[in-house]
Amino acid sequence: MSLQLRNIRKTYREPGGGVITILNIAEFQLAVGEQVVLVGQSGGGKTTLLNVIAGITMPDAGEVKIGGVDITRLHESARDRFRAERIGYVFQTFNLLPAFTALENVLLGMSFGGRPVNRAKASELLDRVGLAHRLHHKPGQLSVGEQQRVSVARALVNTPQILLADEPTANVDPAHQQSVLDLIRDTCREHEVALLMVTHAPEVAGQFERVEKLSDFNRPGT
């Protein structure tokens, strides 16, 4: 299995002092190379779940195993290193570094993961998302959709064990939405990367064999 979640629980304290449970998941699994879409209402915990899987947010209880490694047992520095080496993440907010060009942002993804810098591979990925003419533009010079496409290229450049994608086509113009989706799915398929994608777009979810509703396996009220 690429991903195994067991007895995951995540709560937050409300301003009034009460506690709200966001995640209460008995079990969830993702096989090697499997591609899954995660759907659900806004505020239902989808992004929190992705952050828990990535080790950005720690659960209150439970196991998060990626390739057999329970990342909840790793110290923060080891967890950060594991994420850089084995997890790709397409963030809703992009998280690009503003002082660096599109190409440099993708190359940094390689260096953070401890891989040799491969400019040809980074350039090829940016070309495949339609940004060959924008390699040397910084995020502030790119449209929101172009920034999203840089984020996708950066997440894929290290050929991670698992790719987490939070609404990866939401900010992309219609002309490029399918090419971005195809790049993500084809790259994951070629390298047997497990894919967990959050989307609200029916036309995106409809292309996947496995579509999971978060409410079907997350029971925060129990």
Whole-number Cα distances in Å, 157 to 78, 88, 90, 111:
21, 8, 12, 10
Q: Return phi, psi of residue 108, to 5°.
A: -65, -35
In the three-class reduction of DSSP (H, G, I as helix; E, B as strand; rest coil), residue 9 is classed as strand
Q: Does residue 59 belong to any structural domain of this protein?
A: yes
Q: Does residue 201 belong to any structural domain of this protein?
A: yes
Q: Does residue 118 belong to any structural domain of this protein?
A: yes
pLDDT the model gives residue 171: 87
Rounded CA gap, 72 and 57, in Å? 10
pTM: 0.93
- Cβ atoms of residues 203 and 12 within 8 Å: no
Q: Does residue 122 belong to any structural domain of this protein?
A: yes
Output the domain CATH number for residue 82. 3.40.50.300
Q: Does residue 91 belong to any structural domain of this protein?
A: yes
Amino acid present at 40:
G
Burial of 156 (0-12, 13-18, 19+ CB in 10 A): buried
Splitting the chain (222 residues) into consecutive groups of 10 residues, what average pLDDT does each group show? 96 87 96 96 92 97 97 95 93 92 93 84 93 96 93 92 94 87 94 95 94 94 68
Q: Residue 38: give the domain boundaries.
A: 3-13+29-217
Rounded CA gap, 107 and 123, in Å? 9
196: its two tokens: 């967990």
Q: Does residue 161 belong to any structural domain of this protein?
A: yes
Rounded CA gap, 77 and 103, in Å? 26
pLDDT the model gives residue 222: 66
pLDDT the model gives residue 18: 86
Q: Does residue 81 belong to any structural domain of this protein?
A: yes
Q: How many folded domains does the chain comprise? A: 1
pLDDT the model gives residue 88: 95
Q: H/E element holding 4?
A: strand 3-13
Q: Does residue 139 belong to any structural domain of this protein?
A: yes
